[in-house]
Structure 1
Amino acid sequence: MNAKMPFSRRLSVAPMMDWTDRHCRAFHRVLTRRALLYTEMAVDKAIIHGDTDRLIGFSAREHPVAIQLGGSDPHELAAAAKTAEAFGYCEINLNVGCPSDRVQSGRFGACLMQEPRLVADCVAAMGEAVTIPVTVKCRIGVEDQEPEEALFTLVDTVAARGVTSFAVHARKAWLKGLSPKENRSVPPLDYDLVRRLKAERPELEIILNGGLADLDHALAEAEALDGAMIGRAAYHTPWILARVDSQIFSEADPVATRSQALEAYRPYIAAHLDAGGRLHDVTRHMLGLYAGEPGARQWRRILSEKAPRRGAGLDVLDEAQAAVSPRDEAA
């Protein structure tokens, strides 16, 4: 699929630091042709001054795939966005939602919820530098902000500079006093506020993110919205993505069983090993494939213990698959 072709945000897999790398995306693409995939956040300065291919390179087989950028300098973000477009990404997304310490130290991520005009300047600069869509992923507020005021102010200020699509994590971010892990469950989610944003700003594309446990949950909560973005659930229980194409896009799913998914992914793993890569680079993203199935614990144990070993090869994957019950269903 060419990056310039139309794509849909009706169902996407959220950008997740240290998780949604190129190997993860290649695996998810085996399960769904249509879900929009995102990179982990890439910092603008790193793209400009670092090993760009290592940082944001990807395979055409991953399309449709969007890149998420982190930063707060309009000129540097514009330069990074231009580079990303040249690599073939279909969308540039600005991170205005991550609460981690390393993001805060760089004056980007969730702390930008407090600077909507700066966010607007950033997206305007990126929009002038590229021809592909520029979008924003944000929270409903940070710290002691009133969520409705903070969210509507950010969205209105940014929309005035040309952004029409927002993925909203429906939880406030606490920049101090809570770890990023704790902030994934505290404070409570407010899906109704996101739905109200869509109702009052119908001209904007509003995507729901945060706490969506599976595909059915995502579809139910986002029924009045333009789409859903699933994060940890897609990573820890990736088989939920195998129903996306049929359930959301009315198209045939690419695989019917987990065994078929492994067979389809096997050439990618072999190529990675032939290029000198480690088995664990790839299999760490597959640990949840058999979640809830007989033998799932053995599958995880074998891959967790043996894949990181020096020289580990496809025989480890064969051993793990043999430990899973032969009952292989599409459920």
Structure 2
Amino acid sequence: MIWIVIAEVLPDAFKEATPSQVASAGTLAVAFMETLSTVLLGFTDGNNVEDASGFLVSLVFGLGPLIGGIILVTFSLGFSMPHPLLTGVASGIAFRLAAWRPVQLLMTSKMGLFTTLFLLIGGSLAYHAATSSILRLFNRKRSSVNVIASSSGLSLSALTVQSLLACGAVFLHAYAEGLALGVAARKAYGLGRYMVLPASLHGLPRGAAAASCVYGATDSWRGALAAAALTGLAAPSAAISAILAKIDYDGLDYWMVIACGALIPSFGRVFRRSLRLDVRKSVVGLLVGVAFASVCLMSTRFICLHTPYCNSAPEAVT
């Protein structure tokens, strides 16, 4: 059947694309098919209904960031929000996310002050060093003072590159949390179906942060939605990895704190640049971002405290 499809499709494909493009697309399609077949075969052989359910539910964990991005873009287009305000909103959300889990660990005595500070500083320094190297490489290769042109005709400003790197920090944060969601999905109440609401609500600020950061730098609502959607892929991919690897909670809090530390230098750099454009709007945006993230995170905690949805994964979404 597969070869029949290939025989029918390939002649038309060669009319519309080059042989190298057709070969690349075919290779990726076969690789994806084999990977999916292996995953499903593993579930079938093991007769593990919990794993299969967790695998499917994990795919829904990416809805929160996408919805957050849609909300942000809608408000931005509707109220014509200026770029410094958008960047401030993204920074406020990121700083609130960076503080949320470490403060919880300290208040519940699950992690000591020295360990928390060490991991936060370590994550900040590591991400700062990595992004600084990328920015230095960018500065060497750019063709003009502020813009680098690619062969495809697209252009990247220094602010755009910084915003994309900040979105990378959000992706890492979402991935670390996705690992905890994956651990919980197989054991969750209702085989993970009821975790979708708190997990999605918990992901709203991340999508809004990524969309706001990209929209403020590029003025492209399509790029903002794409950034939110890509951020939303982090949690499902991490959750599926956790399910397949059958990991447990041991050590996940450490990775979460390190990921929180990565948010600080990335958005700190973006926010400093925004302050140079308009201090008042940047500060107002920062406060709005902190308030929005706080409402989403506190709402998630309220749901988890008054419903059984988070009983199996309090560490993942509270």
Q: Name the TM-score class by shorter chain.
A: under 0.3
Q: TM-score scaled to structure 1, two decimals?
A: 0.23
Name which one, 1 or 2, has greater alpha-carbon Rg.
2
More strand by share: 1
Q: TM-score scaled to structure 2, two decimals?
A: 0.24
More helix by share: 2
